[in-house]
Amino acid sequence: MTAGCSSSGRAPITIYTDGACSGNPGPGGYAAVLKCGAHRKEVSGGYRCTTNNRMELMACIEALKRIRNPSDVILYSDSRYVVDAMTKGWARRWREKGWRKSGNERALNPDLWEELLKLCERHRVEFRWLRGHDGDEENELCDRLAVEASRRPGLPEDPGYRPGEAGEE
């Protein structure tokens, strides 16, 4: 998705993301909308049994994977979990400490955090929080797409989900 878009001096790619989970854990979906100029791409998917936080992370990961060339990206999410961990440096510190948080508590979802951090090394990503369900057109679309994805028949297993890890961080 980089034709005419970001890559040294061009307009940044804007991404909106959302995750949904019916129950926590339960069937979950993720969605993202990537925009740059007249270009637009929607991405969504889901898993049979997962958590809301895993779906929020998957939305970011799957969106960033769609960008072919290193780019400037503005990524909007209504997940404080994702935005705070990335903007406050928590995810990097967890990785440096062997996926341990302060107090030596184990950080959840290290598989997805690792993937997201690697993608953010390829792109220059600015994470921005926006209030969910507050009328933002793209966020509302992502929410609908994520919920629809969570309801698809025959969803695959989430290979990184570990039962008992549904808690918020």
Residues with a catalytic annotation lie at 18-19, 56, 78, 133, 143
Contact call for residues 78 and 130 (beta carbons, < 8 A) = yes
Taking alpha carbons only, the member of 62, 36, 26, 34 closest to residue 141 is 34
81 half-sphere exposure, CB direction, 13 A CA radius: 21
Give the separation between CA 105 and CA 167, rounded to whole angstroms: 13
| Strand, helix or coil for residue 118 | helix
Placement of tokens 């994977």 in the chain: 65
